[in-house]
Amino acid sequence: MPDTELKNIALLIDADNTTPKGIDPVLTVMAELGQVNIKRAYGNFAKNNLQNWDKITHKYGIRPQQQFDLTAGKNATDMAMTIDAIDLLYQGKVDGFGIMSSDSDFTPLVTRLRQDGLVVYGFGSTKKTPDAFKSACTRFIDIDALIKGAEDEGQDTPGGSGKSAPRKGTVDDDLVALLGTAWKAAKRDEEGFAALSEVGNIAGNRSSFDVRNYGFKRLSELARSLAQFEVKPGDNGQLMIKRLR
C-alpha cells in the first residue's frame, strides 16, 4: 500500500460550451491533481453539433449525460452539471474538480466547491469566458492554448513534420505586475532574490493564471523569458527570482 492514496478527481464537461478536441490535453493536466475516476459530459447529444462527442466518450471512458431541450431558453445542461457536482461534494468522495466550460453560469458552483477546500480547475476559451468564472477557479487554463500546445508537441517529436518549436504566447503587463507583486510579498535575501516556488504560490493565491495559457510548461520557463526578472539557482538547489525593473 502506498503511503498516500491517489486523490479522486471528477471532470464535468459542458459539451454545449467546449470542444472534444481538448479532452486529451485536459486529462493530462488533471493528472496533476490525482486520478480522474469520474468523467461526465452533459448536453443534448441528439443535436448535430454534438455528434463528434460520440467517439470521444467511448475512447476516454466518459459517461454521456443526455439532457433534452425541454424548454426554449432554459439550459438543462447547466442545472444537471450543478446538481451532480453538489451531490459529489456532499458524498465526500471527491477531492477536486475539473469544469470544462466557458459559461459564467458555473461561477457560483465553483465558488461553492472551493469554499469546502476543493481544488477546481477551469478549462475554457479565454476569449469567451468571463473574468468572474476565471477568477473563481483555482486555476483557469485556456483550452485553445492546450490544444495548440499538444499539436505543436506532436509536430516536434522525432519523425514528425520537422516544424519549428511552438511559439510562446504574449505575456501581458497584468501578469508581469502580478509576479512583481508576489515577489515583493515573498521573503527575499540580501540581494533581493526570492524563492520562485514561493512567488508562484503567492501569485496563485491572488489569481487563477496558469503558465500553460502562455505556451509554457513551467513557471521557471515563463520567468526566464521575461526581461523584467532574473532567475538563478539557489544554494539549496531551488530556483530564485528577482525583479529587475
As its CATH architecture, domain 8-153 has 3-Layer(aba) Sandwich (3.40)
Q: How confident is the model at residue 165 (pLDDT cuts 50, 70, 90)?
A: very low
pTM for this entry: 0.75
Task: Provide the phi-psi class of 8: left if phi over 0, else alpha when psi is between -120 and 50, else beta.
Answer: beta
Q: Which of the four pLDDT bands, split at 50, 70 and 90, describes residue 206? A: confident
pLDDT of residue 173: 85
CATH architecture, range 173-243: 2-Layer Sandwich (3.30)
Q: What is the mean pLDDT of residues 98-126?
A: 94
pLDDT band, very low/low/confident/very high, at 154 (cuts 50, 70, 90): low
What DSSP string describes 144-204?
HHHHHHHHHHHHHSTTS--PPPPPPPPPPHHHHHHHHHHHHHS-B-TTS-EEHHHHHHHHH
* Averaged pLDDT for residues 146-170: 58
Question: Does 82 have pLDDT greater than 70?
Answer: yes
Q: What is the pLDDT of residue 16?
A: 87
How many CA atoms does the CB half-sphere of 71 hold within 13 Å?
5
Band (pLDDT 50/70/90 cuts) for residue 59 is: confident
At residue 26, the pLDDT reads: 92
CATH 3.30.420.610 in the chain, residue ranges? 173-243
More confident residue, 110 or 171: 110
Residues forming CATH 3.40.50.1010 domain(s) in the chain: 8-153
CA–CA separation, 19 vs 147, rounded Å?
A: 10
